[in-house]
Amino acid sequence: MKNVSLFARRAAAAVGIAAVATAVAAVGDVAAANAAVPHADGAVLVKKVTSARGTLEIFEGAAPGSVVTPHSSYGCAGSDPSVCLDIEGSGLYVDHMQNDTYVRRSGGMDLQINGPGGIIVDSGWFTAYPGHHYAYWWPRGYVARGYYCATAYVGGGHEGACNTVHN
């Protein structure tokens, strides 16, 4: 992920932002209504976008009730930002993937989950405050075998945690 050219990153971001903008327009007031809904553990849903490829949810605060199940995967990289990829499922069946990114300072942030075919979900740039930030993908089905990554772009740099989905 660190060897991606600036041009490719900007092109991918432009495509992802257009897709997010289209999806946000489609969910309209539903996303606005959910934006301030706190979860029982204190996490607040910042943005929710649903498309044909799944649902992206971005939370700020505590992780909303993720339970690790057998045959799932979890891995982290970096320190600021610290990025973790949590894959819940078994074999090629994936219930959901979570990008859990922790930052120590405020600033612009863009969270992504990438797969063998490129960007799956992209939060678009938003203002992040110190703490945990989450992006989710809920395929709840069989996915392509290959390499999946959770990536956080913060300021001028980025960090990513990756794992392989296989049967």
| 87-97 average pLDDT score | 94
For the stretch 9-38, pLDDT in tens is: 333 443 343 333 333 333 333 333 334 444
Mean pLDDT of the chain: 73
Q: How confident is the model at residue 74 (pLDDT cuts 50, 70, 90)?
A: confident
Quickly list DSSP for 1-53: -TT--HHHHHHHHHHHHHHHHHHHHHHTHHHHHHTT-B-TTS-EEEEEEEETT
Structure tokens at 110: 């863009």
Listed by start position, the domains of the chain span: 6-63+70-165
Picking from 6-15, 38-47, 83-92, which range would have the lowest pLDDT averaged per residue?
Answer: 6-15
